[in-house]
Amino acid sequence: MSAITTANTIEEWVELAHTEGLTDGLPVYPPTRAAVDELVEASGRDPGLLLGAIPPRGGAATVEVVAANAAMAGCKPEHFEVVLVAVEAMLEDRFNLRGVVTTTHPCWPLVIVSGPVVEQLDMAHTESVFSGGGAHANAAIGRAIKLLLWNAGGATPGEPVKEVFGHPGRYAFCVAESPASPWPPLHRARGIESDSGITVFACESPTSVAMWGADDTPVNRLAQLADAMAIKGCNNTHTMGETLVVLTPNEARHMAENGYDRASVQEQLWQQARRRIGDLLSPGVPPYAWWPDWVDAENPDELVPVTERPEDIHVMVTGAESIPWMAVCAGWGNLGGYAVSRALVG
């Protein structure tokens, strides 16, 4: 424990936050009573309202507790509803938040914001979008999630977090979908009928996919992406689950101009992103129980897709338009971290 138990200056607060384990190494703002109350008031919710217990420690995520961590992250009042809705989404059983934060696998909850709220909050959605893009909202929202999982959930390295290599997104992992997308926002594609929404999905950091050697035909360009999705050591390749792919707005428009909507991209990728069972399993290794019954697991020439259904390939449009580009954010596989979408109201 630190000899400092109260902080009267910003320097003392920084020291107190580090020594009391309130931060993962980066400086944080002091969660003053005024700052926390301002966030709670902006939410219109009771400060004692319980959203749920944050694993693995099981700390109570009341609106006030979430607000304290959001204040430490530097959230403005207008950012706070996104944080609250993202927390509610991650606490759904299908997301398996306990597994996500303690697994050996390098996945972390990505918060995807889509719809008019992106521009209302002045969120970055062009250059460097996966590293915050220099925007206050992207960084603060992602950081608030991390600090809540750290402080309320106790998700610290060694015990109980067993993640082998780590993930740069564990500092802050929030992106905005581009308003320049030719397709409906991601949350609407996932059945959320609201103007704006959030989607949380546990995934790895992006692996870039360039168009080297590909012509302008969508099927050949998507083949580049499918090849990166189906690498031999990926969890998705062996256990299916869900995965995220990212297209820049100009690449998405190229697809749209050639008759491809989001569902067409999903279907094409599902058909192409496959591996031979004989390439996945060494001789004598039994087939996986993860695979559904329609996979002929005894046939070494059977081609297994990286997801069970095309709609398990989530397609997001974001990034700069300097050149067309794509990326893959592999999921945790069939272990959890599945995408959850929710409406943003107000």
Nearest to 173 by CA among 224, 227, 108, 241: 108
Q: Domain coordinates of the chain in residue numbers?
A: 31-204+335-346, 205-330
Taking 70 as the pLDDT cut, the residues of the chain under it are 1-5, 346
- The Cα–Cα gap between 324 and 307 comes to 25
pLDDT of amino acid 4: 45
pLDDT of amino acid 5: 66
- The Cα–Cα gap between 18 and 30 comes to 12
pTM here? 0.96
pLDDT of amino acid 126: 98
Helices (H), the chain: 10-19, 33-43, 63-73, 80-90, 97-102, 117-120, 136-151, 186-189, 218-229, 235-239, 249-257, 262-272, 277-280
- The Cα–Cα gap between 61 and 73 comes to 16
pLDDT of amino acid 8: 87
